[in-house]
Structure 1
């Protein structure tokens, strides 16, 4: 906040409003002490140099717990809400001042494995005109990746002078090393009686490889169940993929054929697919939260190998190989074409790829999963 203070409107900057909370009225806690504490904390930095405000949905139960004394109350909604009714309701709470929609959604969230939500520009224009006719102030949420806003992924608006983009050509990735190899263990694996969560291993992102030894005491096919999977898992027997599980799809059980009279390694690679900061999943833990069962019998002990993917510089010392066992790391190096005198923004096209995370110069560009969509390309700023 100290860095932001010079940019506050009262200090000659362009920040006119500072948000205290976002839709807190939808949260079950309804803690008035917390709201007042947060208000006073921000007041200590903002003073009277900008306007403090809150956002809540146009519902009585949300406004029972969302607004904060001495903080300007605003609402948020998209194209399907009756703007006049919502602002009339807001005026019963916020006495004086213009009605404000401080988070107008021109579209909606895009999730993996779901169709890309699209809204017509005519519908957006109609709602904008409706709000402006009511003398309302509007802050539009324009980020394309989140709410289908009418701008590019790099948040550049259409202007008379176009922002130049570059096409740097096609490059081929070289296989480096399998995730099963010990050299990829940047964190010492942990031994445990049951699988540990990401949080128990003090990591917030990436993947965890859970491994245990199976002795065939069952009749094939064997029912493998992962209780409380968070979020997606790839299942391997002796490093050969035999299935996937997906929390969002509700499939956390598969059938295995285990070799008789031999020990096999069961590997479960679990991916943290991101966190949600609202609703039922606000305290979402990642990994395997319950037990792993074979025909309803608990499996263990486990080796838990964390791969947070928070840095990739160590890969520079790995030499490419001809073949690699997936899941694996791949790399390519390239120089800009001679006709480019400076770097320009571009996009990484992941069409034809399977699933993973892309880095450029050790900077995480994001996930790719073109078969699931809706995102195919990753924005690469210069």
Structure 2
């Protein structure tokens, strides 16, 4: 039997098996959707008229520690691709190694930063050797699922938006050869915004463009770069992401669909980024820094056609009405929406102060000078990646404490376990109380998310990244505790001496309550308002993400697969206020909104 003819770009339109083919694509990231919901989300995608799903591959989840590779359960990428095929979808794979995606460090593992000379996304040997090892594990798993071997993968993206970075003229060739040498034979793509098109390409790969609005001449510019080749908008931004302390971004449904209509009428192929955003569970949300550091929220709703919890939106229905025109067969009926439940309010029953939880961390580390979290001797030498790090030292005076901008990203400051203030990327000076006796100075430093886009990638070490000064004198002699809140830490914490709520709670601290589910669990949202300020929420060991009173996100999505019939343990780590009740609601709450059409930031990327 002759080899099947895969996706080709040798004329003004794509062909698949030598038949004209238009990519009507959408992005759903398997790592942002509970595995139990993969089928539901992909069925909803297919019913909308989408024929191709695209997904990134997050290196930092698949190799969380150097040499430890995870490809099972939630990270079973082969099962996700096979499921897409079963449901009638083609696949475009975007394996990185860098993916951006509003994901911590753009998907690159933080242990790379243990190398003080590291130059990410270049041909620096410390980076390329790590990529080669990772690709040795990843690429054989997906190569067998290529179209030419009977699978659904019709194209691979070479890296991601390199034209906006472009620090090494040999790098894209290295990534391309890394794919080809491991058996990748399908169509190769690159993906950039207009400004990056010229520098982001590589010979042998089709250039594609990322955009939201059609500015004059954009598509013609791409066409002129590649005469007689098809046009593909690899990322048509259906909405936008959110950062803490700013409004929730929306992109009007009619405006979105009008642009999609115009692109299709002019013969272009398209991939909606995102079709369904999902959630950046855990500590995985990233940050942006174009002069000001801005951490991103845990929700990745993105104002996409399918909402964070999989609901149909106005965009979905308008898009389906448009895309059905381009179908040869009648579209399947969309699956019924999933039900949700506002569970009864859960009172906090027990708590344990941060200071008493330290015994359950890994052995504390002594250091004369400040040390960043990635360099801590924990996790078999891979350092700390996420969460909080506590730095303690002894001082003999009060006065002015200055961070020298060496705190990444936010520190709660305590003297003798009494809260005295916050130091972060905005506030870098604090007055400590004057006492001429030995006192314990503690800084609980939180990694709020590493930058996922731009030139700052190499400078994303977290914790204390340099000296802090008290009255202009560098502070020395630290005891450092790693509080990355891994499942093993939470298991150890369960054995601690939890206090009942009748005792006065101490913050920071862990607060616990039990949610009782009768019968089958249903989706819900956790709502922490009165009595809560900032922290993270775990349910049955699953880290849902961050909450913060500054918004815009005011609830955390809790999918039914994270729950069970009977008792469910809800654990809240609260930084500053002594805990209230844990409420549940059926509706997401993203605060006040801002139309991205009037927001210039979305045009920077």
* Distance change >3 Å, CA 182–CA 346, structure 1 → 2: closer
Matched, 1:291 2:467: yes
Post-superposition Cα deviations, 1:54-98, rounded to whole Å, max 9, x if no partner, equal 101112xx233211111111010113x41x611111122233332
Give the conservation status (yes or no) of the 8 Å contact 1:234–1:244: yes
Give the conservation status (yes or no) of the 8 Å contact 2:362–2:482: yes
Give the conservation status (yes or no) of the 8 Å contact 1:8–1:46: no
Runs of 4+ displaced beyond 6 Å: none
Of 134, 147, 152, the match for 1:9: 147
Matched, 1:314 2:503: no
Q: Quote the Cα distance in structure 1 between the aligned partners of 2:150 and 2:421.
A: 59
Of 228, 238, 261, the match for 2:416: 238
Match runs of 1:111-190 below 5 Å:
111-142=243-274, 143=277, 145-146=299-300, 147-155=302-310, 157=312, 159=334, 161-181=336-356, 183-190=358-365
Q: Quote the Cα distance in structure 1 between the aligned partners of 2:312 and 2:269.
A: 20
Of 476, 481, 486, the match for 1:300: 476
Q: Which residue of 1 aligns with 2:517?
A: 336
Deviation at 1:6, TM superposition (A): 4.4
The gaps in structure 1 that reach 5 residues or longer are: none
TM-score w.r.t. length of structure 2: 0.57
Structure with greater helix percent: 2
Of 556, 575, 583, the match for 1:378: 556
Deviation at 1:172, TM superposition (A): 1.8
Q: Which residue of 2 aligns with 1:36?
A: 173
Match runs of 1:199-278 below 5 Å:
199-201=374-376, 202-216=383-397, 222-227=399-404, 228-247=406-425, 250-259=426-435, 261-278=436-453
Deviation at 1:294, TM superposition (A): 1.4
Deviation at 1:214, TM superposition (A): 1.2
Per mean C-alpha deviation after superposition, the further-off stretch among 10-19 and 233-242 is 10-19
Q: Quote the Cα distance in structure 2 between the aligned partners of 1:16 and 1:351.
A: 47
Q: Quote the Cα distance in structure 2 between the aligned partners of 1:209 and 1:366.
A: 20
* Distance change >3 Å, CA 16–CA 351, structure 1 → 2: farther
Q: Which residue of 2 aligns with 1:67?
A: 201
* Distance change >3 Å, CA 141–CA 178, structure 1 → 2: same
Per mean C-alpha deviation after superposition, the further-off stretch among 186-195 and 319-328 is 319-328
Deviation at 1:51, TM superposition (A): 2.3
Post-superposition Cα deviations, 1:96-125, rounded to whole Å, max 9, x if no partner, equal 332111111122221111111222222212
Deviation at 1:301, TM superposition (A): 1.4
Q: Which residue of 1 aligns with 2:125?
A: none
Of 10, 21, 31, the match for 2:159: 21
Q: Quote the Cα distance in structure 2 between the aligned partners of 1:196 and 1:174.
A: 37
Give the conservation status (yes or no) of the 8 Å contact 1:19–1:52: yes
Deviation at 1:133, TM superposition (A): 2.0
Aligned positions, number:
365
Per mean C-alpha deviation after superposition, the further-off stretch among 286-295 and 315-324 is 315-324
Per mean C-alpha deviation after superposition, the further-off stretch among 148-157 and 202-211 is 148-157
Q: Quote the Cα distance in structure 1 between the aligned partners of 2:361 and 2:491.
A: 11
Q: Quote the Cα distance in structure 2 between the aligned partners of 1:46 and 1:17.
A: 13
Q: Which residue of 1 aligns with 2:103?
A: none
* Distance change >3 Å, CA 194–CA 326, structure 1 → 2: same
| CA RMSD between the two structures | 2.1
Q: Quote the Cα distance in structure 2 between the aligned partners of 1:149 and 1:96.
A: 32
Of 545, 564, 568, the match for 1:366: 545
Deviation at 1:319, TM superposition (A): 4.4
Post-superposition Cα deviations, 1:12-32, rounded to whole Å, max 9, x if no partner, equal 333322221111011141332
Q: Which residue of 2 aligns with 1:54?
A: 190
TM-score w.r.t. length of structure 1: 0.89
Give the conservation status (yes or no) of the 8 Å contact 2:357–2:496: no
Q: Quote the Cα distance in structure 2 between the aligned partners of 1:359 and 1:31.
A: 44
Q: Quote the Cα distance in structure 2 between the aligned partners of 1:130 and 1:119.
A: 17
